[in-house]
Chain A
Amino acid sequence: MTNFIFQRLIQGVIVMLVISVISFAIQDQLGDPLRELVGQSVSESEREVLREQMGLNDPLWQQYFRFLGRAVQGDLGQSYFYKEPALDVILKKLPATLELVLCATLIIALISVPAGVFCAIKPRHPVARAIMAVSLVGISVPVFLTAIGLIYLFSVELGWAPSYGRGELVTLWGGWRTGLLTADGLAHLILPSITLSSIMLPLFIRLIRGEMLEVLQSDYIRFARAKGISAQRVYFVHALKNTLLPVITVGGVQIGTLVAYTILTETVFQWPGMGFIFLEAVNRVDTPLLIAYLIVVSVIFVITNTLVDMIYGLVNPTVRLTGVK
């Protein structure tokens, strides 16, 4: 196990180095950083002095290692707009995004598993056919359309759920501001998390159904039936466990993608998270903020993938053994 974690750590470091190169390239390529800092009234000779001071005239590799050295210490530069360290700005918005992703993930897991299993066990049932038809529609509808549709129906017409913001928040230890502990905060989570889950939910229902259908054809399922154990046990112990192995792998990658999708959802719902601030930063060419976002999202990707691999190892006995070797 320690061997496995060590391997993953090294992989994570390599991934982050690649990301740092990309981030550094963005920093240098999105226009002249001086223009963002000083405006138009500064003369060309003064600019040249500033450039020299900031090290912008140094060779590229020197600049990169300076960037890397600062980045390792958590210094990703000042946000031009907020006049604060960019990493702090992003991290302050992290709880909002993570809570949204968490709720969406829960919705996906709680609906896709039973729905997928049902569609596989009773493929000809009218409800199963309906689920498959709706899921096909769900895959094809873009996120912002789902969001606007939900807002129109449940906020404007029916007035059941609020359409923007996070609502009432509670500050936890460590300064994490959560909306999960108040009724108002939870109400504000409903529409955004449904919207965010709508992208992945149909995909997972179809994935689970497909895998389960295949597993149900296998010899060990027939043998389990030949032992005379209950149908529930055949489906939920023998079949489901094997079905979920590939689903866990895909799921790990998709959670990362979900974080990326929050950009659209957060913008439509004015959700004060990382995705929302990222889009603002793009409009303002706030490069340090973009870089901070990129790096935080990469770290999330690396962490979720590692966690998923560990969970996979716990569920799949074959992997557990090779991990020990």
Chain B
Amino acid sequence: MALLEVRDLVVEFGLREGASMALDGISFALEPGERLGIVGESGAGKSVAAFSILNLLSAPGYIASGQIIFDGVDLASLSESALRTVRGRRIGMIFQDPMMTLNPVLSIGEQMLECLRAHSNCSESEARHICIERLRQVQIPSPEQRLRQYPHELSGGMRQRVIIAIALLLDPQLIIADEPTTALDVTIQAEIMQLLRELCDNEGVALLLITHDLGVVAQLTHRTMVLYAGRVVEQAETAALIRAPRHPYTRGLLDALPERTEPGRPLNQIPGSMPGLQSMPSGCAFHPRCNLARARCQSESPALQHGVACWEAAC
């Protein structure tokens, strides 16, 4: 049985001009221990998908319909207090910017211990022991001292390690990582990715990785899902997707990688930009930017079939 199964998830933003859809019925499944990447440009709905799983959407965003089945329970129908027992304990989260994710006025120890206190009855000394153990696991030197320190005393990479330690604190079954390496230096990025990969392998934790970086996806995930304008446009094994992309958007993304362009020539790019929520084109949302678009693409929206949502690719 799948660990996480999302069915026809629709997330809307209630705006003054009326509700607009940020996620238009996406579905995916994640097996225990599996690592799934969600990629797409800014505004594709990647982060919205990540936050909606634990219902951490900030107003005016809300889940309009669909199911989020985690270990047999529909998270979308749970009350706030029931969801709290899942958050942090069975599903951990890692955020994008480690500089903004830790509370500046609370010590590292306080921010770790409160999570343990909320979910388990272990004694204060046991809890401290667990925190130190986790910090050691994410390769933070002298963890005992770190507990007394404040976020501003740590570098960005160190903070992201602390955040990973917090996400792992209660042995969750799933970690949702929203752009975990985007805000970091390239060297630190590689370290953090390596760390995430090892931890997931060793602990058997499933990973839902949100990123716009295809390189990160290639290194970390088993399967990849490409989002465009709130819809899944392609889903495949990561290796297959990178070797042979089928959707023109995925192909465009891969062609845009600098290493795929001959030196000295201008970089490839997909013309135009992602449509806003208020100005969604008819038919396939990608057709205004697609070089394969035909009349049918403008009027009818293609469904996801055999891992790709495109009239041209499906035939």
For residue A225, which residues in chain B have a CB less than 8 angstroms away from its CB? 56, 87
Shortest CB distance A255–B (Å): 23
A238 close to B (CB within 8 Å): yes
Q: Is the CB of B152 within 8 A of A242?
A: no
Given the interface pairs A220-B104, A241-B105, the reply to whether A226 lies near B87 with Cβ below 8 Å is: yes
Q: Is the CB of A245 within 8 A of B105?
A: yes
Most buried by B among A217, A226, A315: A226
**Chain B interface residue number, banded:** 20 to 34
Q: Is the CB of B106 within 8 A of A237?
A: yes
> Given B51, B54, B93, B105, which contacts A315 in the complex, CB threshold below 8 Å?
B105
A228 close to B (CB within 8 Å): yes
For residue B119, which residues in chain A have a CB less than 8 angstroms away from its CB? 228
Q: Provide the bound-state CA to CA distance between A324 and B114, in Å.
A: 28
Q: Is the CB of B56 within 8 A of A226?
A: yes
Q: Is the CB of B152 within 8 A of A219?
A: no
B97 close to A (CB within 8 Å): yes
For residue A233, which residues in chain B have a CB less than 8 angstroms away from its CB? 114, 118
For residue B93, which residues in chain A have a CB less than 8 angstroms away from its CB? 223, 226
> Given B58, B80, B101, which contacts A223 in the complex, CB threshold below 8 Å?
B101
Interface string of B87-126 (1 = CB under 8 A from A): 1110011011100111111110001001100110000000
For residue B95, which residues in chain A have a CB less than 8 angstroms away from its CB? 219, 222-223, 226
> Given B88, B100, B104, which contacts A228 in the complex, CB threshold below 8 Å?
B88
Shortest CB distance B94–A (Å): 9
Q: Is the CB of B118 within 8 A of A227?
A: yes
Total count of chain A residues near the partner, CB < 8 A: 25
Q: Is the CB of A218 within 8 A of B152?
A: no
A215 to chain B: closest residue by CB: B103
B86 close to A (CB within 8 Å): yes
Shortest CB distance B146–A (Å): 14
> Given A226, A237, A321, which contacts B152 in the complex, CB threshold below 8 Å?
A321
> Given B92, B106, B152, B163, which contacts A238 in the complex, CB threshold below 8 Å?
B106
B153 close to A (CB within 8 Å): yes
> Given A223, A229, A318, which contacts B104 in the complex, CB threshold below 8 Å?
A318
Q: Is the CB of A229 within 8 A of B56?
A: no
For residue A238, which residues in chain B have a CB less than 8 angstroms away from its CB? 103, 106
Shortest CB distance B261–A (Å): 35
B93 to chain A: closest residue by CB: A226
Given the interface pairs A222-B95, A223-B93, A321-B152, the reply to whether A228 lies near B105 with Cβ below 8 Å is: no
For residue B97, which residues in chain A have a CB less than 8 angstroms away from its CB? 219
For residue B278, which residues in chain A have a CB less than 8 angstroms away from its CB? none
A43 close to B (CB within 8 Å): no
Which residues of chain B have a CB within 8 Å of any CB of chain A?
51, 54, 56, 58, 80, 84-89, 92-93, 95-97, 100-107, 111, 114-115, 118-119, 150, 152-153, 163, 166
Closest 4 CB pairs of A and B: A228-B88, A228-B87, A227-B88, A219-B100
A-B contact pairs, 25 of them (CB 8 A): A217-B58, A219-B95, A222-B58, A223-B101, A225-B56, A226-B88, A226-B95, A227-B118, A227-B166, A228-B84, A228-B85, A228-B86, A228-B87, A229-B84, A229-B88, A229-B114, A230-B118, A233-B114, A237-B106, A238-B103, A241-B105, A241-B106, A317-B104, A318-B104, A321-B152
